[in-house]
A = this chain, B = another copy of it.
Amino acid sequence: MNFLTYELNPFGGAVLDENSFPEDPAYFNKVLGDTITDFRTQGLQLVWMYLPLKLSPLIHTAVSQGFIYHHANEEGLQLILKLQPDAFVPGYATHYLGAGGVLIDEQNRILVIQEKHHTRRHYKLPGGALEPGEHIADAVVREVLEETGIKSEFISLNCFRHWHGYRYGMSDIYFVCRLKPLSSEITIETSEISEAHWMPLEEYLNHPDTHPFNRKIVTTTVNTPGLSLDQIEDYGTPESHEMFFASLD
């Protein structure tokens, strides 16, 4: 009897080696069935099968033997088969992250934008979504530059909103950061933004087109120190980790 090649993990899981998979679905079906029978005899909990895009012809066979999907990206699909009903399966990522910037210039004016495709006219903060693997402090500076042409540097993270039921049913966090403007001339990104300008802070806070949420987050950001970036010796690297702490003094 032939078996697929696999490795055991510390949680009673068998991780199949996709390099051992025969490309013929009928033969794959036979060997997979025999391998799963062997796993059940061994008392294993869970089977992991990763199929890169080019092995898509094998997905149907796996599903027919009880596998379900765990996650996928453009490279391939991860499937799992629970051998025990209460087997522990670690989840996949659940959240999107975005950040907006509060920039106040030396004349006490705030940088605001209007979106091109809006349902109601609102003065908003420049900002946007983090790219995969990007730091919050870098993302907000990048987004402000892309949307408005304004260079800035990160000062503090002052408040955030956590929201369930965003895109594909996942959750989303929107961090609001104080940034120090390093330039003043605006160049707007025209595909998503219709307007960007420096507006006197008092006018912004009292304007009918300022949403109460924006009024509150800007007021908080302007009047509180928030959390600052810091590092801990021997804990990750500045490239892989960013850490936000309230100031102790």
Tell me the A residues contacting B by CB distance below 8 Å.
10, 53, 56-57, 59-60, 63-64, 68-78, 90-97, 117, 129-130, 132-133, 135-136, 158-165, 167-168, 170-171, 173, 211-213, 216-217, 219-220, 223-227, 230, 232-236, 239-248
Q: Contacts of A162 on B, CB cut-off 8 Å?
A: 135-136, 241-244
Query: Copy number of this protein in the oligomer?
Result: 2
Looking at chain A's contact residues, the main secondary structure is mixed
CB contact under 8 A between A94 and B93, given known A135-B162, A136-B162:
yes
27 A-B interface contacts by CB (under 8 A): A10-B117, A56-B59, A56-B63, A59-B59, A60-B60, A69-B76, A69-B77, A71-B73, A72-B78, A77-B77, A78-B168, A91-B132, A93-B93, A93-B94, A93-B168, A94-B133, A97-B173, A132-B171, A161-B244, A165-B240, A173-B173, A216-B230, A219-B248, A220-B248, A223-B248, A224-B246, A227-B227
